[in-house]
Structure 1
């Protein structure tokens, strides 16, 4: 589970960085690759290894049912 970050706010709401990722995927309007999300976040996408922390966050979101991770490695937002 995503840990509770304080008394205020919705307990089920993910932390800010996860919400930003979700917003980027929703705005894409279709399946997106981790690299495209990284570019929108301003991350260095020149080396695959630099995207691994982002890939892990997107996998966590998929495991929690917030994203759908497709077989081709792209992700889409769940309703």
Structure 2
């Protein structure tokens, strides 16, 4: 496989495909993409089957959404909703 170390959540570049993301991040990305429009973390959680009424389950999802924003896979709008870049 080669000895190249890969970051857990790589930055999005033209030569990085989303299939390099861990499966749970791929599911989050797919859910946001399939939504009719930008989504709040709670809406993304509902689409993914997370019990959004339990803060300890919603906050890790919010953290993953923010991590995807930081790496360029998602955009966070000024109102706090998340959307795909394209």
> How many pairs were matched up?
74
Unaligned runs of 5+ in 1: 5-10
Out of 40, 57, 61, the position equivalent to 2:68 is: 61
TM-score, normalising length: structure 2? 0.74
Cα RMSD, aligned residues only = 2.2
The structure that has the greater radius of gyration is 2
- Runs (4+) of structure 1 moved beyond 2 Å? 1-4, 47-50
Contact 1:2/1:14, CA 8 A, preserved across alignment:
no
TM-score, normalising length: structure 1? 0.80
Unaligned runs of 5+ in 2: 1-5, 10-15
